[in-house]
Structure 1
Amino acid sequence: MLATFEVAVPQAVAADEYVVISAAPPTHDLPPGKLLTARDVIDVPAGTSVVLLGEDGSINPINGPATFVVVADALRSRDTADPASANTSTISLIAQLLANERDKTEIVGGSRNPADVFNEGRFLDPWSIPIEESAPGCIRDRELILERQRTEHGLMFSVRFDDRPAVTRLIWSAGEAIYSLDEPIPHGAKELSVEASGTSTRIEIKMAPAGIDLDNPVELLGWMITSGCTRQALASIRQIAH
């Protein structure tokens, strides 16, 4: 017989919406990106472990077999200013990001299970910025961490912040996917250029705002997604889920 329980957390951090961020083994019924709202009833099969992210930032692992019901917090008024209420739109953003990644995995991977959006080793440190594409990069504490996918050879490269003098002849050792710059990012820097092997990548610097709680997964992911740091957001979700 399946256990039945309510997905609910203490009143101070109660959530009305959840998103599936992980299911192991992957299952088509509970794919990453599935949005759960009040009164949804979901069955977790035997042998399956699911991780839900709540709009309040809570991380909720559930092991099957189990049947759970998402319940609204009846004691919280939606008419009052409530940070968790505002986070419902962020949960939807996270769900959409995962759903889009799931669709890409299904199209590219063919026979691969589309529920497994992390089955390629493409997601490293959530705070590392990929140098293969020009895109925004989300940064905390002025710390610059770069990542690369191809690591079989060493790499000599340079970095430049805005129109400041370039830092040249940096050596990225073979076999290393992550490189941390020794010096912090200059105050006020808006753009980073990385030049390596005759190619140049431009990264728009997105510093973490002072008001963001980086320990709250929903706030962190909401900022990353709206800043355009899609790959870093996916890496953060992977870290949270595992």
Structure 2
Amino acid sequence: MKITPRQGKLLDVIVKEYIDSATPISSQLLEEKYNFDISPATIRIEMQRLTDKGFLSQPHTSAGRVPTDKGYRFFVDNLKESKFDRGFSPIEKEMEDSFKFFRDLTKKIAELTSNLAFSYFPEEDIFFKEGWENIFKEPEFENTDLASKFAEMVENMEKEIEEFENVDFPQIFIGKENLLPGAQEFSTIISRIHLPRKKEGVVAILGPKRMDYNKNVKIIKSLNKPWQKKKTQKTK
């Protein structure tokens, strides 16, 4: 079901606000914080239309709205291309020790995203999972059942990640789009990466559906850039 440009603008703002705050977004907040050049009543009407179309939902305990899987998908599909400036080049000096290199790369991804970073490097047949201390600080995981489901998803990812070895660009799976058992309450971003010395790996970012998609996608895309730049310089 299509939405109007005005509804799309509202939805974009609502998703961004919810990612930042983790609390349902009210029409009053939108009215006070943004200039949409429409009346408060019109904002409420448009939010209701977005709810009726399945892009937003209304928690029973709140007058505000939160994005649905469909709302997040609209947001992700309309992300604008941009660069992530903090590269990973300094880690390359550790390439002599593959284990340390891959471990530190995974740690860096977890640090930058505040989500769980998961990596698999088939040549060495090693897995790394980093970022548990960050991910369980997210308000979603105050729910112990959800935390257990997340741990189950990570375990299943380790069993299935080889299936993604040929994914050359970031793929984003939101909520029910995830095929892994126990993953329907979360989002994953996954891609193959090309590293120095012709090594390859698969990297995934796992977190709540409220993850910062814009930043996380840029980080995944930036992983190949330092190595590609060095290779280009050497061939000149």
Q: What TM bracket, shorter-length normalisation?
A: under 0.3
Q: TM-score, normalised by structure 1?
A: 0.21
Q: Normalized per residue, which structure has more strand?
A: 1
Query: Normalization by structure 2: what TM-score?
Result: 0.22
The structure whose residues are more often helix, as a share, is 2
